[in-house]
Homo-oligomer: A and B are copies of this chain.
Amino acid sequence: MNYEYEQASILVQALPYIQRYSGKTVVIKYGGNAMQNDDIKRSVLRDVVLLRFVGMNPVLIHGGGPEISEMMKKVGKEPKFVGGLRVTDAETMEIVEMALSGKTNKSIVSIINTLGGMAVGISGKDANLIVADKYEAEADLGFVGKVKQINPGILESLVHDGYIPVISSVAIGENGESFNVNADHIAGAIAAVLKAAKLIMMTDVKGIFDDKDDPSTIRSVLSIDEAADMIRSGKIDKGMIPKVEACIEALEGGVERTHIIDGTLPHALLMEIFTDTGIGTMIEPNAVSG
């Protein structure tokens, strides 16, 4: 009986958090190793199903670099990157789309559905959810796009009817062409349009560090200004930049709280939502440094 009492007692401790987010939208950028390792993947998605059943409206956005690269290798095509961005010619775009919308997306949907949730996987092309323009860089990156407009109608339909939307980071251009768009930026834009209560970015690191080589310097709370400063000063760099930018965009669009967490930590998502201390780094509108 002791153990069961313990269980019940923990459920009760979760109550205030359940109350706070009841009926609220939580946008989750799902990615990194949490999406590669089968056991962690299953564990993370079970957490997502739980969020839905305790009354939240989770919306998942995913990219899928490794699946793309693996597919590129299979067809004997060499990946090319300029400034961290994948050069995406027409043939590459086709592979990107197949890997993201055909493989990664449906694999996530399938796991959620076997866990008792009801997911519907779409891309940004469906119902014109994500309209993109060509991303203009010094080099011609091909079908790399940037978000031009979010049409959230289909998300509202799906959420209203009880489904968990799972969105691949492929957008539609004015002429129906596909664009490969950074999933972090998509997550930020969708969170802003949906006026989400939370945007959670899953990464493979514990959060943002003052000294990026020293995890003990993790910042648990950052204000928008502090985060922007750390990008300018280079303390935040590489793949962390679009994540932090997405958080800032979301906050400026009305999202209440944004979080950067290590998705590979077991139950990172739940710990973030259901405990006071949280984990990782939270970026808030007017946060004081922590």
Give the interface of A toward B (CB within 8 A): 1, 4-16, 18-19, 22, 43, 46-47, 49-50, 53-55, 71, 74-75, 94, 97-103, 105-106, 109-111, 113-116, 118-123, 125-128, 153-154, 157-158, 161, 163, 170, 172, 175-178, 265-267, 270-271, 274-275, 277, 279
Contact = CB atoms under 8 A, between A and B. Distances in A.
User: Taking chain A's interface residues, is the majority helix, strand, or loop, or is none over half, making it mixed?
Assistant: helix
A126 B120 contact: yes
Copy total for this chain? 6
A75 to B, nearest CB: 4
Contact of A101 (B101, B170, B266, B271): B101
Contacts of A22: 53
A178 B110 contact: yes
A166 to B, nearest CB: 9
Nearest to A110: B176
A96 to B, nearest CB: 9
A264 to B, nearest CB: 13
A15 B7 CA distance: 12
Given A75-B74, A101-B101, A7 B114 contact: no
Contacts of A49: 15, 19
B5 A266 contact: yes
Given A15-B50, A71-B98, 15 more contacts: A1-B279, A4-B279, A5-B266, A5-B271, A7-B270, A7-B275, A8-B267, A18-B53, A53-B54, A101-B102, A101-B106, A106-B126, A109-B125, A113-B127, A120-B127
